[in-house]
Structure 1
Amino acid sequence: MSMNNNNNSNPHGPSSSGPVPSFPGPRAHTQPERQTFPSKTPNSHLQTEPAPTATAAAATARRKKHKPNERQLREKALAILPESEIYTQLLDVEARVDAALARKKVDIQEALKNPPRIQKTLRILDAPFVSEILCFLNDYTDNNVITWENSQSSVAHEGFEVKRKGDREFPAQIRLEMNYVPPALREVLGVQVDTRSRIVSAIWYYVKARKSQNLNDPSFFQCDQALQRVFGEDKVKFTMVLQKISQHLFPSQVILLEHMIKLSGNSPVGSACYDVMVDIPFPIQRELNALVPNVERTKENDVCDESICGIIRKIHEHHRRRAFLVGFSQSSLEFIKALVESQNKDLKVLLGESGQNAEKDRKSDFFKQPWVEDAIVCYLNRKPAAGSVVK
Structure 2
Amino acid sequence: MFLTHLLYIFRVKRRKMADKVLPQRIRDLVPESQAYMDLLAFERKLDQTIARKRMEIQEAIKKPITPGKQKRKFSSFFKSLVIELDKELYGPDNHLVEWHRMPTTQETDGFQVKRPGDVNVKCTLLLMLDHQPPQYKLDPRLARLLGVHTQTRASIMQALWLYIKSNKLQDCHEKEYIICNRYFRQIFGCPRMRFSDIPMKLAGLLQHPDPIIINHIISVDPNDQKKTACFDIDVEVDDPLKAQMTSFLSSTTSQQEITALEMKIHETIESINQLKTQRDFMLSFSNNPQDFIQDWLKSQSRDLKLMTDTVGNPEQERKTEFYHSPWVKEAVGRYIFSKVSTLYIFPLQGTSVVGCLLNLLRLVLKRLVITFSSPLQIGRLV
Instruction: Give the TM-score range, shorter chain.
Output: 0.3 to 0.5
Q: TM-score of the superposition, structure 2-length normalised?
A: 0.33
Higher helix share: 2
Q: TM-score of the superposition, structure 1-length normalised?
A: 0.32
RCO greater where, 1 or 2, for CA within 8 Å and sep 6 or more? 1
